[in-house]
Structures are given as C-alpha cells and as structure tokens.
Amino acid sequence: MLLGIPFLFQFFDTLELSLSQQFTASDEQFMRRAIELAAQAESEGEVPVGAVLVKDGEIIAEGWNQSIGAHDATAHAEIQALRIAGQSLENYRLLDTTLYVTLEPCPMCAGALLHSRVKRIVFGAPDLKAGAAGTVLNLFEHQAAYHYATIECGLLEEECRSQLQAFFKRRRKEIKALKQEKRDSELK
C-alpha cells in the first residue's frame, strides 16, 4: 500500500532546464487541465500525474494515474489518455495530436506514444529517475525509432513539480508514521 511507493523525485530541486520554445495560451490552458487531472489522481491516492490529448485544438482524451486503484502497472496518465482516444477514434494511430502531461513520460509511456504516432509531447516537470524524453534517456531520438515526435518541456514546470513534491513529502511522512506505529505496536 503506502509502503510500496518510492520517492522518485528527490533531486527535482537541482535540475535546471533551458527552454528555447515559446508556449501559447492554448498550451497553457491544456497543461492547466492536465494539472487538474493530476489533482484527481492524488485525490484517489495515486501519484499526481495528469495527461490531456489534443487534436485540432480540442481535447479528445484525458487521463490520470490509476495504477494503484486499478492494480495495473500500465495505468499511467498517458496510457489512459491513449486508450480513450484510440477507442474514440477507432484507431490506435493518433496522428497530428499533442499530448500535454505534467511529468515527463517514462520508458513505457514513451514507447506507447511512439507507437501511437503522437506528433508532439509537452511535459511540465522532468523525471530525474525514469524520464524517457530527454532527462535520463530519449527514446524519441533513438536511431531505431520508427516515428519522431516533437518534445517540449518546462510548461508550467514549477506548478507540476510542486504538485509532485508536495505529494511525495506527504507520502514520506505517512510512511514514516506507519513504520513508527508498527514499531510501537511491536514493543507492546
């Protein structure tokens, strides 16, 4: 349960990304929706990550982490959004779409994004442990990649990072209290 969730983002404060891209008001609007979805994940006891998939300026799918509640390691926010969009469009190829996600995709999600042909991925906070869009590794630029996507990072980064940091700080405190409670009960 709570004890199984490691703290993955302990070095967030040390990373400085240089950003050359300019984000639009629409980009910010879609990322703000992803942040709202991340809060939904957190309210369900999940790691707060949210994703919004957009085509032609319209949201076609949304997702948030549901791995814990669904007992499904693949139920990441990105995967949830891809599944919904694929069903809605009756096609796994999600051409000319943009995914907004609060945390840099992991290798599993990066692979799914490549396979689904998402054109552009915009993420808020980097993932220093498992980021597969440039922070730890970059599957999108791998020589064997059969599809290429534009990767843009840092949109509302501080808000995305703060949301994750607050969650893990609280989670560590809860885990510490549970461990102390267990030790105390063993002494009785």
In this predicted model, what pLDDT tens digit does every residue of 29-87 receive, in sequence order?
A: 999 999 999 999 999 999 999 999 999 999 999 999 999 999 999 999 999 999 999 99
Distance CA 61, CA 89 (A): 10
Distance CA 136, CA 133 (A): 8
Question: What is the pLDDT at residue 184?
Answer: 83
Return the number of other C-beta atoms located less than 10 Å from residue 168's C-beta.
Answer: 18
Annotated binding site: 76, 106, 109
Q: Which listed residue (46, 62, 78, 152) is catalytic?
A: 78
Distance CA 83, CA 133 (A): 20
Confidence tier at 13 by pLDDT (50, 70, 90): very low
Question: What is the pLDDT at residue 40?
Answer: 99
Question: What is the pLDDT at residue 11?
Answer: 35
Confidence tier at 142 by pLDDT (50, 70, 90): confident
Q: Rounded to two decimals, what is the model's pTM?
A: 0.85
Annotated binding site for Zn(2+): 76, 106, 109
Burial class (CB in 10 A: 0-12, 13-18, 19+), 122: buried
Q: How many CA within 13 A on the CB side of residue 147? A: 18
Distance CA 71, CA 60 (A): 25
Query: What's the CATH number for 21-187?
Result: 3.40.140.10
Could you identify the residue written with the tokens 């969009």? 85
Ranges of each domain in the chain = 21-187
Whether 16 sits among the annotated catalytic residues: the reply is no
